[in-house]
């Protein structure tokens, strides 16, 4: 079985580097993404909308809590000159790739 934490860390590293090709290799084509402000049912739609404005930001992974085919991750995301935004994501995996992402966030501490 693929190490879920390793896949997630490579995903977040690629996200911080705006490396679309690497991200596409780590997620399923039918990626289900949901956040308070966006929902997508494909990796292409998700990346087309979100990679440019949110990729390349400073990302500090704080915790990783794995399950059998899921992983909870928390991190701080900081843009130029801004205060960090604290986020948690629930990742689901299928065949060693991220198949679903649900985002939870708070702009305060």
CA separation for the pair 24, 12 (Å, rounded): 12
- Identify the domain containing residue 83 by its residue range: 4-106
- Average pLDDT by consecutive 10-residue portion of the chain (109 residues)? 85 92 97 94 95 80 92 87 86 97 79
| Total domains present in the chain | 1
Query: What pTM value is reported for the model?
Result: 0.89
Q: What is the CATH number of the domain that holds 53?
A: 3.10.450.50
pLDDT recorded at residue 95: 95
CB 10, CB 22: distance < 8 Å:
yes
Quote the pLDDT of residue 26: 98
Alpha-carbon distance of 106 to 27, in angstroms, equals 25
């Amino acid at each position: 079985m693929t190490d879920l934490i390793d896949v997630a860390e490579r995903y977040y590293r690629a996200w911080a580097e705006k490396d679309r090709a690497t991200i596409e290799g780590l997620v399923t084509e039918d990626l289900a993404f949901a956040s308070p402000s966006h929902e997508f049912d494909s990796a292409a739609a998700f990346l087309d909308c979100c990679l440019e404005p949110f990729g390349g930001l400073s990302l500090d992974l704080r915790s990783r809590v794995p399950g059998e085919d899921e992983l909870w991750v928390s991190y701080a995301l900081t843009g130029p000159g801004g205060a960090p935004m604290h986020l948690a994501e629930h990742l689901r995996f299928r065949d060693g790739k991220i198949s679903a992402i649900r985002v939870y966030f708070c702009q305060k501490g």
